[in-house]
């Protein structure tokens, strides 16, 4: 009797398991459709709370901006720094009001959305090449060719003729080069690999660009701190980290030769300069290998993503106006907080491009900002 009862319970539990996982899955995919009840409640729940998700790179700056904005206007912004990819996914599922990403939407992400989304540049960042050569006191100079060949595994010694040629007068040790890169998917990697793909054809065909790639050589570290740890501990190591992280941790970083042929020290000013180029109407531009003569070549914009049509999930005009005004403030008054946190303020060209896009955002077909 009990065995039979147990068997039926077992069957029931299997049925529950199947049902449970199937409903959960269908819920997941349904989210991208018309919007589920859960999404409704998120955006409807509190008129004075805005939900955002995305880039971890933006997080320190956003925290400062949102707390300042809260003091001014009392608007609460709940930002989850779960990574650019996650932010885009949440925006696609309409569970957040805005996303933030270090890379513009790619074709697949764009087609995954039910409505067109727009990109508004909010800040700029740079990736610096940091190294550990205790014997070398001067700042190392690197050309795009050297950098690409190091990361392709072709240059393996620090006293290689090519490095020596670019650094005349510096005595380079015969240490082997140990490459360090990010192991987690990240916007930093995206900027760095986009740059290498632009300056080196072999990199472009063999490795390509992306937030994680198939590295030909090197050790992976998790996060900026992981890469920085590998560099600091290993003599002869070279790797890339965010500019802000390198400045805060007093790391040695190299001067990079830009497209105009100048060796540029990465700094807030040279990153802002990199963004002072003609920005296309959709702002989906990569600043890597910038044309600007005094711009640092491994820089990139970071964007806030919004739906062009803000009327969805029963959102009110009042709330959507608050969201658009918040982003407007971030690209204007909010920029004053950038420098203190080692972010590069937007260039005038980027701000103007952002203004045009913000004005084109509509509620029920009518522009929100007049």
Among 36, 230, 290, 347, binds another protein (CB under 8 A): 230
As measured in angstroms, the least distance from the Cβ of 62 to another protein is 17
User: Between residues 60 and 220, which has the closer beta carbon with respect to another protein?
Assistant: 220
The rounded distance, in Å, linking the Cα atoms of 353 and 368 is 17
The reply to whether 20 sits near another protein by the rule CB under 8 A is yes
Report the DSSP beta bridge partners of residue 304.
Answer: 100, 120
Which residues from 75-94 bind another protein, rule CB under 8 A?
A: 82-86, 88
User: Between residues 25 and 317, which has the closer beta carbon with respect to another protein?
Assistant: 25
Q: Which pairs with CB-CB distance under 8 Å and at least 24 residues apart come from 316-323? A: 316/47, 317/363, 317/364, 317/368, 318/47, 319/43, 319/47, 319/50, 320/363, 320/368, 321/363, 321/368, 322/47, 322/48, 322/50, 322/73, 322/75, 323/50, 323/97, 323/98
The reply to whether 126 sits near another protein by the rule CB under 8 A is no
Among 144, 226, 334, 354, binds another protein (CB under 8 A): 226
User: Between residues 176 and 348, which has the closer beta carbon with respect to another protein?
Assistant: 176
The reply to whether 43 sits near another protein by the rule CB under 8 A is no
**In terms of Cα–Cα distance, which of 155, 153, 257 is closest to 207?**
153
The reply to whether 113 sits near another protein by the rule CB under 8 A is no
User: Between residues 25 and 260, which has the closer beta carbon with respect to another protein?
Assistant: 25
- Determine the interface stretch with another protein among 131-139, 183-191, 269-277, 313-321 (rule: CB under 8 A): 183-191
The reply to whether 27 sits near another protein by the rule CB under 8 A is no
The reply to whether 30 sits near another protein by the rule CB under 8 A is no
DSSP string, 178-239: EEEEE-S--HHHHHHHHHHHHH-HHHHHHT--SSS---SS-EEESHHHHHHHHHHHSTTEEE
The rounded distance, in Å, linking the Cα atoms of 161 and 312 is 60
DSSP H or E stretch at residue 161: helix 161-166
The reply to whether 12 sits near another protein by the rule CB under 8 A is yes
The reply to whether 229 sits near another protein by the rule CB under 8 A is yes
- Contact residues: another protein, CB under 8 A: 1, 5-6, 9-10, 12-14, 16-18, 20-22, 24-25, 82-86, 88, 106, 108-109, 112, 176, 178, 183-186, 207-215, 218-222, 226, 229-230, 233-234
């Amino acid at each position: 009797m009990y065995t039979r009862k147990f068997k039926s319970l077992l069957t029931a539990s299997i049925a529950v398991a199947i049902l449970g996982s199937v409903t959960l899955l269908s819920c997941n995919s349904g989210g991208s459709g018309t919007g589920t009840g859960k999404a409704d409640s998120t955006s409807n729940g509190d008129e004075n709370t805005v939900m955002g998700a995305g880039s971890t790179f933006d997080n320190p700056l956003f925290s400062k901006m949102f707390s300042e904005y809260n003091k001014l206007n009392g608007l609460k912004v709940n930002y989850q720094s779960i990574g650019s990819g996650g932010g885009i996914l949440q925006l696609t599922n309409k569970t957040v009001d805005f996303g933030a990403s270090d890379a513009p939407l790619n074709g697949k992400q764009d087609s995954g959305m039910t409505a067109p989304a727009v990109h508004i540049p909010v800040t700029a960042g740079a990736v610096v090449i940091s190294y550990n050569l205790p014997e070398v006191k001067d700042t190392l100079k690197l050309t795009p060719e050297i950098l690409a060949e190091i990361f392709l595994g072709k240059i393996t010694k620090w006293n290689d003729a090519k490095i020596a040629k670019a650094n005349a007068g510096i005595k380079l040790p015969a240490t082997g080069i140990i490459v360090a890169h990010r192991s987690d998917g990240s916007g930093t990697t995206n900027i760095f690999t986009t740059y290498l793909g632009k300056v080196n054809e072999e990199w472009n065909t063999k490795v390509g660009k992306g937030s994680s790639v198939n590295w030909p050589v090197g050790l992976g570290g998790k996060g900026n701190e992981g890469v920085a740890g590998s560099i600091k501990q290993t003599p002869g190591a070279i790797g890339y980290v965010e500019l802000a992280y390198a400045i805060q941790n007093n790391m040695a970083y190299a001067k990079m030769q830009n497209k105009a042929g100048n060796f540029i020290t990465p700094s807030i000013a040279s990153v802002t300069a990199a963004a002072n180029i003609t920005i296309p109407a959709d702002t989906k531009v990569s600043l890597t290998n910038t044309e600007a003569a005094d711009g640092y070549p491994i820089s990139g914009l970071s964007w806030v993503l919004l739906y062009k049509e803000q009327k969805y999930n029963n959102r009110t005009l009042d709330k959507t106006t608050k969201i658009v005004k918040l982003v407007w403030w971030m690209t204007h008054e909010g920029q004053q907080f950038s420098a203190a946190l080692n972010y590069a303020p937007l260039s005038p060209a980027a701000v103007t491009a952002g203004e045009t896009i913000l004005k084109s955002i509509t509620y029920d077909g009518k522009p929100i900002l007049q």
